[in-house]
Chain A
Amino acid sequence: QKEVEQNSGPLSVPEGAIASLNCTYSDRGSQSFFWYRQYSGKSPELIMSIYSNGDKEDGRFTAQLNKASQYVSLLIRDSQPSDSATYLCGPQGGSEKLVFGKGTKLTVNP
């Protein structure tokens, strides 16, 4: 059984702070990693993908990947109330199937 573990939160940060979301995975064959954001009552939407070890930055978002440690994280800088959502981590292995973790609920307080 391929496992994806995320700190379930809830994680609460003040507006303007850095939010740090973490994810570990058990499938060493995972090659691609995705972060999705899901607002309450809505469908998931892709916000970041990362394929290589290291950091990948996109605006206020930075994804970090360490395949040796089987760890992927998402940093959100200058957090805004509109970032309040559940963030889903999804590693992908040798097939097109994407298996999500339970998600981390983030609340950004004005």
Chain B
Amino acid sequence: EPEVTQTPSHQVTQMGQEVILRCVPISNHLYFYWYRQILGQKVEFLVSFYNNEISEKSEIFDDQFSVERPDGSNFTLKIRSTKLEDSAMYFCASSLQGNPGELFFGEGSRLTVL
């Protein structure tokens, strides 16, 4: 069964460092998303991406964050100058055109900022 894959599963970084989280969405999906979940809190929308551009972003997704689809398969989230409060599980998701609410999530990348 097709699945969304994310790497790394866990990354530990020092405050101020840059981090890139990688995702391979399901191949025929056209919408891509990043969500984050701080431990014990809700799953929060960060950004959606369609047709090679950001279609919507939340207030969390400030200039510290960027997304990119560098090739036909990968979808990346870059966090510049990480802060302690960026520590969270980051989920990538994808969906088909026509069913954007039916998200398929990856297993997540846990980011720990020290």
Q: Is B107 in the interface zone, CB < 8 Å from A?
A: yes
Whether the pair A38, B43 counts as a contact (CB closer than 8 A) is yes
Q: How many A-B residue pairs have CB under 8 A?
A: 56
B101 touches A49 (CB 8 A): yes
Q: Are B103 and A98 in contact (CB under 8 A)?
A: yes
Tally of chain A residues near chain B (CB < 8 A):
22
* A96-B55 contact in complex given A43-B107, A88-B43, A101-B42, C-beta closer than 8 Å: yes
30 contacts between A and B (CB under 8 A): A38-B43, A42-B107, A43-B105, A43-B106, A43-B107, A43-B108, A44-B43, A44-B91, A44-B103, A44-B105, A45-B105, A46-B104, A49-B101, A49-B102, A88-B42, A90-B101, A92-B101, A95-B55, A95-B56, A96-B50, A96-B55, A96-B95, A97-B45, A97-B48, A98-B33, A98-B100, A100-B43, A102-B41, A102-B42, A103-B43
Show the binding face of B for A, using Cβ within 8 Å. Answer: 31, 33, 41-45, 48, 50, 55-56, 91, 95, 100-108
B56, A97: Cβ atoms closer than 8 Å: yes
A104 to B106, CA, bound (A): 21
Q: How far is the CA of A45 from the CA of B33 in the complex (A)?
A: 14
Complex Cα gap A62–B19 (Å): 41
